[in-house]
Structure 1
Amino acid sequence: MWKEIGDRESGKLRPNSFINRIRSNRASSLQLSNHKEIVSSHRGSINSLQVDLTEGRYLLSGASDASLAIYDIQRATDYEAAGLIAKHNPILVDKQHPNGHKYAVSTAIWYPIDTGLFVTGSYDHHIKVWDTNTTQVVMDFKMPGKVYRTAMSSLATSHMLIAAATEDVQVRLCDMASGAFAHTLSGHRDGVMAVEWSNSSEWILMTGGCDGAIRFWDIRRAGCFSVLDQSHSQLGRRPPLVDQSTAKASTSKTRALQRKVGSGSSSKHSGNSKIFKHTKGSAKQRLHPGLLTSQDRATAHYGAVLGLKATEDGMYLLSAGSDSRLRLWDIQSGCNTLVHYEIVRLQSSKALQLAVTQDSGIVFLPCMTSVKAFDMWSGKSMMTLQGHYENINCCCYSTHDQELYTGGNDRQILVWSPLKLISDDMDECDRRIGQLPAVDEDSWSD
């Protein structure tokens, strides 16, 4: 760290590079926090965690006892051990609301642009929109089956759609503006357990089903436009773009051929129609690969797709499957990048919530009773975070504090933070109580 500070002082590092390097160093040194504790109020396994996208201050959690809780992770409610450990009690707890969920809450997400609303989905076949200030349900959507995951686009300015992944084969989009279903996306052959909006377009939706398929949808048109195939691969990152001169030459040749065919005699009309049909068919194949039989049955995993997570730049997609595989996909080309991640054991009964750092350098994957941290581009296992007594269901990374929050079947929410020295804690404690640190003294020497 001191080397980075020296390089920044001498001007060798630009401000953005310095910030990214410090964030990366903090993220790679995560360990169980010794200065922050979240007091869980849940009496069931924790299935979902999310920090709000506006302030990075409030943590929303949902559990299998149909309870919800909100924690202020920036301001502690109590201190222990002479002020060294900050305890965060829930500022909002909803356990037995008359209009609340009857069964386990499987997903809980914030409204992307305001903390005044949040959305929950449950095994009771309902998706509810809540008013945070009044703790009241303002909207209710009845789904055809258990709700596994919900998602809202953080880029959307033209719609207020909630994408719902349920045990039904169809993906439904709930419109918060009208209170009705806006779209029904058909294509999966089994229940859908993962859903994720693109970080580069507000119209692109990505879904993963129990049939092992990952489908890409443009909600402005009918049908999915791409189905990921694990055998369609490329080595490493995105390949270079095609040279424009070559593309222009091929385009000019195609136009010349079309003019030549168009000016042909009437005796060749039948042949020309065949060529036109072939060209039209190839264009259809290029525009709608997800509608073709051969590509429609492509699979991304040899089992159910349990979780999806897009990188912050919107260029890559991570997927975890019940085949104990973690795969990295190039979104533009739809190729499997062949990054070899360690084979880990994943629980297949629940949808998993993955987490990625802001610079897309580290991916966190819940693996039974531990969380594995992988280098995204090399696939190397960087660290294993162990602290839960039972299986872990979800993890959420806070870009504001570079902290990781995990929840599991042991009903606990653990905080993983960068290494913090005890001397720093003492200084903070002294500043908080307005006292100077005492000088070390002994009572036995003269």
Structure 2
Amino acid sequence: MLSFLAGRESGSTNPFLLRRAEITRRIFSLDLSKHRDVERIDSLGGINSLNIDTIENRYLLSGGSNGGIVIHDLENFQGETKFTCRQICHIPNSDNNAHRKSIETVQWYPLDTGLFTTSGTDKQLKIWDTNTLVPADTYSFDGIVYSHHMSPIATKHSLIATGCDKSTIKLVDLRAGSSTQMLKGHKAAVLCVQWSTRDEFILASGSSDNGVLLWDIRTAKGCLMSLDQHNGEAASAANKIKTAHNGRVNGLSFTADGLHLVTFGTDSRLRLWNTTTGKNALVNYGNIENDGRKSIKFSLSSGACPDVIFVPDDSNLTMLDLHGGNQIKTLRGHYNQVNCCVFHHDRQELYSGGNDRNVLVWLPQTDHAYDDFLKTDSKTKDKHSFTKRIAATTDTWSDDDD
């Protein structure tokens, strides 16, 4: 790190290298925080989905298996070493406007924290007004809504893609207030959807039919491409159907530059795809336990070298080299199945939620601020104790008393 600082000062190295090195160092040192936690709300049940707003990068939105919704403030205004992220909004499942069953996906409106969206197994997608905590609009579907997503970069449309129990993807237009388009191509339930981070008209979807489809919503000709794990070389002559995994595809995420797509299947495999060619990059990540029948929310870092995949692995989180496939480390802290995680790109922090009803905080352990705090606190207490002992045994006699 000192060499990067010296190089930046002398102008011999690109300042970007220092930033990338520091981001990488912080990500690789992530561990369960000793001094920060998130206020627990037992009425939420298991935590199924987490999302951090992209405007202030301050508010953490959570959706639970009991249909409840909570917003936590991540900002530490007091500057205290030991800090709890307190809830600032809570919509319990007893609220008349709340979801009646499990919430599967939550997301902030990308352009304003005044709105957020939720969907779940009660077959509804709700658009919430953050100020009043009342739905501004509600959309009902024929089946369970496993996943929904709004484009983080869209300027020419305001569509919400929804993956449902049916084989079709419905696009809901916030401006029109209705479902304006249906995408047909899958043969079973659509478990996960996500818009490209590079092109606002490109959408990816994963299904129980083992397939991953890329869509260009501007065309009516069907899907843009179907991803093939064998890159066109079928395992057998009889196998002519393109599949991305040998099991349900219940997780996917674009890289920050949109050039690659990571998919997760119940064959316990992660796969990396080139979004331009649709080719499988054939990166071996090993076995990552996944037998879920619902969407799994994993997260990707950005700006590091190498970038990292954070993926739920039973009761743990596994960190993997995005392009190399090597396992970097395992994050242990949950007591039950981990369902979701979200990476804070500005601070290089990770938040995870699971069936143990906890939201855990994973922070870079690049310094020992908390350990130093404990040592200082301990020394202070010892000093006070010593002073009290001295005071108690001090002889108050003086020569003046003679």
How does the TM-score come out when normalised to structure 1?
0.80
Distance 2:15 2:380 in 1: 37
**Is residue 400 of structure 1 aligned with residue 346 of structure 2?**
yes
Structure 2 counterpart of 1:226: 225
| Cα distance change on mapping 1:161 and 1:423 into 2, 3 Å | closer
Structure 2 counterpart of 1:375: 321
SS in 2 for 1:16: helix
Distance 1:66 1:46 in 2: 10
Distance 2:372 2:88 in 1: 27
Percent of aligned positions that are identical? 36
Q: 1:208-357 to 2 correspondence within 5 Å?
A: 208-222=206-220, 223-232=222-231, 297-357=241-301
Structure 2 counterpart of 1:17: 17
Does the 8 Å CA contact 2:81/2:369 hold for their aligned counterparts?
no
| Cα distance change on mapping 1:313 and 1:47 into 2, 3 Å | same
Can you list the C-alpha shifts for 1:220-242, whole angstroms capped at 9, x where unaligned?
Answer: 111112000000079xxxxxxxx
Structure 2 counterpart of 1:241: none
| Cα distance change on mapping 1:3 and 1:42 into 2, 3 Å | farther
**Is residue 387 of structure 1 aligned with residue 339 of structure 2?**
no
How does the TM-score come out when normalised to structure 2?
0.88
Does the 8 Å CA contact 1:30/1:419 hold for their aligned counterparts?
yes
Can you list the C-alpha shifts for 1:19-61, whole angstroms capped at 9, x where unaligned?
Answer: 1211111011100011211012143110000111111111111
Distance 2:325 2:347 in 1: 25
CA shift at 1:12, angstroms? Answer: 3.3
Structure 1 counterpart of 2:204: 206
Does the 8 Å CA contact 2:26/2:366 hold for their aligned counterparts?
no
Distance 1:383 1:76 in 2: 31
CA shift at 1:198, angstroms? Answer: 0.7
CA shift at 1:351, angstroms? Answer: 1.1
Does the 8 Å CA contact 1:195/1:208 hold for their aligned counterparts?
yes
Structure 1 counterpart of 2:88: 91
CA shift at 1:125, angstroms? Answer: 0.2
Q: 1:15-94 to 2 correspondence within 5 Å?
A: 15-43=15-43, 44-75=45-76, 83-94=80-91
| Cα distance change on mapping 1:58 and 1:135 into 2, 3 Å | same
Distance 1:62 1:439 in 2: 42
Distance 2:15 2:22 in 1: 11
- Read off the aligned partner of 1:380 and give its amino acid letter: N
SS in 2 for 1:307: strand
CA shift at 1:438, angstroms? Answer: 6.5
Does the 8 Å CA contact 1:60/1:69 hold for their aligned counterparts?
yes
CA shift at 1:8, angstroms? Answer: 2.6
Which structure 1 residue ranges, 5 or more long, are not aligned? 235-293, 431-436
Does the 8 Å CA contact 1:42/1:63 hold for their aligned counterparts?
no
Distance 1:314 1:233 in 2: 23
- Read off the aligned partner of 1:227 and give its amino acid letter: S
Does the 8 Å CA contact 2:252/2:262 hold for their aligned counterparts?
yes
| Cα distance change on mapping 1:322 and 1:423 into 2, 3 Å | closer
CA shift at 1:184, angstroms? Answer: 0.5
SS in 2 for 1:22: helix
Does the 8 Å CA contact 2:4/2:17 hold for their aligned counterparts?
no
- Read off the aligned partner of 1:60 and give its amino acid letter: L
SS in 1 for 2:128: strand
Can you list the C-alpha shifts for 1:290-328, whole angstroms capped at 9, x where unaligned?
Answer: xxxx99931000110010010000100000000000000
CA shift at 1:424, angstroms? Answer: 6.7
Distance 2:72 2:2 in 1: 34
- Read off the aligned partner of 2:91 and give its amino acid letter: D
SS in 1 for 2:19: helix
Distance 2:257 2:103 in 1: 30
Does the 8 Å CA contact 1:233/1:338 hold for their aligned counterparts?
no
Q: 1:99-114 to 2 correspondence within 5 Å?
A: 99-114=97-112
Structure 2 counterpart of 1:194: 192
Structure 1 counterpart of 2:397: none
- Read off the aligned partner of 1:159 and give its amino acid letter: H
Which structure 2 residue ranges, 5 or more long, are not aligned? 391-402
Does the 8 Å CA contact 1:106/1:122 hold for their aligned counterparts?
yes
- Read off the aligned partner of 2:50 and give its amino acid letter: L
SS in 2 for 1:336: coil
Distance 2:158 2:9 in 1: 46
User: When the two structures are aligned, how many residues end up with a matched partner?
Assistant: 377
Aligned CA-pair RMSD = 2.6
Name whichever structure is richer in helix by fraction: 1
